[in-house]
Amino acid sequence: MAVDRLSLTFGALADPTRRAILARLAKGGASVTEIAEPFAMSLPAVSKHLKVLERAGLVSRGREAQWRPAALEAGPLKEIDEWVERYRVIWEQRLDRLDEYLKELHVKEKRHGRKA
């Protein structure tokens, strides 16, 4: 995974309009005009948001010059999820070690004849 890609993803997701555009695209590909409709937004404004989403790899654009329909690319979001999963694993392993350590402490204590 590219190091800066996650930052780009977070940056792109920070804007509520862009998240709404992604939600719209989650239902299927759409042209700039179709995307702009529910937002009462100018076409250039939508294009600008789409460019940010495209740079983050969250959206891909079609080849047709006039239409350039946009479609959702969920890969980057999966990377965020993978990070969360990795963080979870780190802590699960830490707690495994803490568990072992607590058992060691308990055994040592018994050996020294003290009460828990």
Partner 1 sequence: MAARHSVTEDMATKELVIERVFDAPRERVFDAFTQPEHLRKWWGPKMVLIPVAEFDVRPGGKIFIAERAPDGAMNYIAGVVREVERPSRLVFAIHFANENGERVSPPVRSGLGAAWDGEIVSNVTFRAEGQRTRVTIRTERSGVTAEFSEMARLGWGEALDKLAHAIADDMRVDS
Binding site for partner 1 (CB under 8 A): 1, 3-11, 13-14, 16, 19-20, 22-23, 26, 72, 74, 77-78, 80-88, 91-95, 97-103, 105-106, 116
Packed helices 5-13 and 16-26: angle between N→C axes, nearest 10 degrees:
100
Q: How far is the CB of 114 from partner 1 (least distance, A)?
A: 12
Q: How far is the CB of 81 from partner 1 (least distance, A)?
A: 6
Q: Cα–Cα distance between 84 and 88 in angstroms, integer?
A: 6
Residue 65 or 113: which CB sits closer to partner 1?
A: 113
Q: How far is the CB of 62 from partner 1 (least distance, A)?
A: 19
Q: Which residue has the tokens 């050996």?
A: 111
List alpha helices for 1-114, DSSP H: 5-13, 16-26, 32-36, 43-55, 75-111
